[in-house]
Structure formats: C-alpha cells, structure tokens
Structure 1
C-alpha cells in the first residue's frame, strides 16, 4: 500500500427507516445544507463520461486547517440499500454506502478507499497518516450528528 492510500470504514446506527436514511445520503447536492460543517460548497460540474451520471465539484473540510477540492459522482445504485461513488481531485478513489434495516434502526456502513492527492497530504502521509485519518473520522462523526438532526427536521416538517 502506498503511503497516500487510505481505507477508512465507518459504521453508523441510527433510528429510522432505511428509505429515509438512503434518500438523505444519496442526495449529494443537499449535503451542503444538512452537513455544513464538512461540505462547504457543492456545485454541478457536468456529466461523467464513463457513467453518464452527474458530477459534483465539492469543497470540503475536516477539523484540521485545510480544505479539499474534489469531484464525485455515483457509479452504481441499488435503492435503498447501496450507493457507490467515485472521487477525483484532492481525493481520488471510491466509496460505497450500504444501508440495512435492523428493527427500528438503520445500520449504515461507508467504505472509503481513497488516495490523498492534495500535495500536502500526499507527501506528508508517510508521517501524518494517523492525523489525516483522525480528521476523516471527525468529519464522519459530525456527519452522523448532522444526519440525526436532518431526520428530526424532516419528521417535524411532516408532523410525525
């Protein structure tokens, strides 16, 4: 494994229905609204030549004082159970979201296989990998809390 390669799995367990959680997590343009601490800007950037799917240009951050510019698009989807994506730019690789109903909860797993291509990250990964990995998990923990708030907001708006 190259020093700038990362595999970072994340597991969330959240009260809800698999369809509602999937609908939120599969709507990339809406991340900026409900996960604003990490997704600073999202805009459409054309269509992917390989998949024909819409590409989104993302500006993201973690807890550390740097930002990442990268593009992402869906590569495959099996609603409401699986969604795969690819990334290019400061982060290059692939990720897969999996959603499984478990009683009144949804088990969510995100497998993120990515290379850090931003020069600072790429060339410092050999020594800073634990810190960069921690930065990712900080962002994902913020994501879980943001997802909980978004589910509550939607339920309140629907009068549930």
Structure 2
C-alpha cells in the first residue's frame, strides 16, 4: 500500500473543507485573519489564548503562533502554526504542529456580493488520548470542527461590522464552557 493511501486510512487524519460567503472584500477578510493578536478577542468561542512567538518576514511568512483552542466538546488543544506563504489578498497557507499537525490553506475569491472564503484543513490529531480515541469518535471530532467553523463565520461577520464602525454590534459567541474547567484535564 502506498504511503498516501495508508495516510487516508489512519483514523486520526482529517480533511475538512469549509466554505463561507461573506459580504466583505478579500482584503478586509485577509486583514482580520492575519491579525492573530486579536483572534482570541473576536473568535473567543474557539481561540482561548493566542501568542505570536515569531513575527516572521514582512507580509507574515515565517510567523509562528502558539494557540490554545477548543470546540464544543470538553477538550482543549495546544498547538502552533507557521505561516508558509502568503498572497495578499488571495490567501495564505500555514503548517500546524503540536496537538494538531498538518496544513491549512485559506483562499479568498471575490464574488459579486462579497467574497467566497475556502479553508482547506488537512490535519492529524497528535494529542495522545484524542489520537487513540479517534477511530471511535471521528464523527464527533468532525462535528466539533464544523461547530468551530460555524462560530468562526458568525464571529468574523460581527468583527467586520465592528471594524466598519457599526454601533451596537453584539459580542461574539463565548466558549461552550469555561476553558479553566477543561485546562486539558478531561481529554
């Protein structure tokens, strides 16, 4: 069996493609997503803590970011990403390592009414207990990712409204339960 096929059969491997349609320009969306310093502020349901470890080159290539994240399931992940390439305002690619390992590609395509955003996320779970349970809980882990991305769209749309100066924009969705409760104790 070739290595690509073997990788596809591993239960701890995931491939998600998320598509959003947003009434904003690719430039506006790119600028918000590249601003990782504010990620935990506008997408707090998923990003509990974000630290830039290395700023990288002008344009962001080489930037290394440490993340503490969660979804609606009672576990948290500690992982990092490195920005591998950027093409402003069309998108950027990152490499993940830590509790998640793999690659993510954000693509922004102009449309008549805004932008089509595609996130192609190919990862392997490296967190030991989650990796071990992945064969059994893969559908739940996949639903957890879907929930996180749904909250991301909701949060991004609210952040766009805030950045455009709209008054009385609701706060973004909060985590499903306090992250101090999880703190990696359950899974």
List gaps (5 residues or longer) in structure 2.
1-7, 167-187
Larger radius of gyration: 2
Superposed CA RMSD in Å reads 1.7
What's 1:104 paired with?
113
Deviations 1:101-146 (A, max 9, x none): 1012110000000000111210011110000010011000000000
User: TM-score with structure 2 length normalisation?
Assistant: 0.79
User: TM-score with structure 1 length normalisation?
Assistant: 0.92
2:120 matches 1:149: no
Deviating 4+ runs (over 3 angstroms): none
Contact 1:42-1:57 within 8 A present in 2 as well: yes
What's 1:64 paired with?
73
In 2 relative to 1, CA 109–52 (structure 1 residues): closer, same or farther, beyond 3 Å?
closer
Question: How many residues are paired up?
Answer: 156
SS in 2 for 1:147: helix
Distance in structure 2 (CA, Å) of the matches to 1:52 and 1:37: 27
2:132 matches 1:126: no
List gaps (5 residues or longer) in structure 1.
none
Distance in structure 1 (CA, Å) of the matches to 2:119 and 2:12: 19
**Structure number with higher strand proportion:** 1
